[in-house]
């Protein structure tokens, strides 16, 4: 029984790390703009397909695929901000960017469907079938890589936000955009930076998710709903809360699969979401604008 608990705990950390990578981008954008980017799911999908094709192009070089997915995600983030959010940012109706990103999401999904077709792609990396065993516990090198890359990305983002001049400027824009502008900070450039970082994380998370999920033009959509739940459970706009909530959801999914029924995973996760909204609507770590992101 102890072996099973440990095995499922490791599986939960792997899944939770993937969820955290997806959810951090949503958290970052919300923390700065108090807006949701629904096209985030499709950037995850495009990151997965980019990693798939680049990995095959470079004869199985998965790290080249991850790097390409990160770059594609960053470019898409820049485009979404420049084309959608920047022109609509000063409008009185705050729903306009939200509606626009839904349109972008639908467009990207249908373009991918036309170009790539509905048939799922099998994304196997050189690490997918490389299994490590200790005792009765099994772990693929792909899972080890997911945990390592997620930890590095989360650590770098946290260090950037807390200890660099640009990170502190980004937090200042999150707290009070007008006051930050009066202090010589360019809010538009910092918002662009937030989109680039968030979307680069989305592209990277797609590269990590691709070998785990069934890769279709709608792959990111299957994950993004849980990412939204994680952001809400953790506390909208709070990086630390998102990390904790993502790992909790990953562990809950893993233990639900083992001890209850895989079909109950979504029910249990969203029951947790409803419970959190009822008992602590601010999330695990309450959002404070002066400490946001």
How confident is the model at residue 45, as a pLDDT? 93
Tens-place pLDDT, residues 188-225: 888 899 899 999 999 999 998 888 888 888 888 888 88
Mean pLDDT to the nearest integer, 153-169: 87
For the record, the structure tokens of 137 come out as 């516990």
Reply yes or no on whether the pLDDT at 92 is more than 60: no
Which residues are CB-contacts of 200 (< 8 A; sequence separation ≥ 6)? 70, 71, 73, 74, 77
Go through 105-137 and write b for each residue having 16 or more CB atoms within 10 A of its CB, e for each that does not.
Answer: beebbeebeeebeeeebebebebbeeeeeeeee
Q: What is the pTM of this model?
A: 0.88
Q: How many domains does the chain have?
A: 1
For the record, the structure tokens of 237 come out as 């706009």
* CATH number of the domain within which 124 lies: 1.10.3470
Most confident among 49-58, 95-104, 128-137, 250-259 (mean pLDDT): 49-58
Q: Do 108 and 170 touch, CB atoms closer than 8 A?
A: no
How confident is the model at residue 91, as a pLDDT? 66
DSSP for 236-281, written as a single string = TT-HHHHHHHHHHHHHHHHHHHHHS-GGGHHHHHHHHHHHHHHH-T
Task: Please report, in angstroms and rounded to a whole number, the separation of the first and last CA atoms in the chain.
Answer: 40
Which residues are CB-contacts of 201 (< 8 A; sequence separation ≥ 6)? 21, 22, 24, 25, 28, 73, 153, 157
Tens-place pLDDT, residues 278-290: 888 777 776 554 4
Reply yes or no on whether the pLDDT at 108 is more than 70: yes
Instruction: Look up the domain containing 100 and give its range.
Output: 2-291
């Amino acid at each position: 029984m102890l072996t099973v608990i440990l095995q499922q705990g490791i599986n939960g950390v792997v899944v939770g790390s993937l969820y955290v990578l997806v959810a951090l981008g949503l958290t970052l954008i919300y923390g700065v703009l108090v807006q949701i980017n629904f096209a985030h799911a499709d950037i995850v999908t495009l990151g997965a397909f980019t990693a798939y094709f680049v990995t095959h192009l470079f004869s199985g070089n998965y790290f080249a695929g991850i790097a390409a997915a990160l770059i594609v995600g960053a470019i898409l983030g820049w485009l979404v901000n420049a084309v959608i959010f920047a022109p609509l940012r000063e409008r009185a109706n705050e729903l306009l960017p939200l509606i626009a990103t839904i349109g972008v999401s639908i467009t990207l999904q249908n373009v991918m469907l036309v170009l790539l077709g509905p048939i799922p792609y099998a994304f196997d990396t050189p690490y997918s079938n490389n299994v490590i065993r200790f005792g009765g516990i099994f772990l693929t090198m792909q899972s080890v890589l997911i945990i390592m890359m997620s930890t590095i990305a989360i650590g770098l983002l946290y260090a950037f936000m807390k200890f660099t001049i640009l990170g502190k400027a980004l937090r200042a824009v999150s707290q009070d955009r007008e006051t930050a502008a009066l202090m010589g900070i360019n809010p538009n450039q910092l918002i662009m930076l937030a989109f680039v970082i968030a979307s680069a994380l989305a592209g990277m998370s797609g590269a990590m998710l691709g070998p785990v999920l069934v890769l279709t033009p709608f792959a990111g959509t299957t994950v993004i709903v849980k990412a939204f739940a994680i952001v809400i459970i953790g506390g909208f706009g709070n990086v630390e809360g998102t990390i904790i909530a993502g790992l909790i959801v990953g562990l809950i999914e893993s233990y639900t699969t083992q001890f209850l029924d895989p079909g109950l995973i979504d029910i249990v996760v969203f029951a947790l979401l409803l419970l959190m909204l009822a008992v602590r609507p601010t999330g695990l770590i309450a959002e404070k604008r002066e400490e946001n992101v």
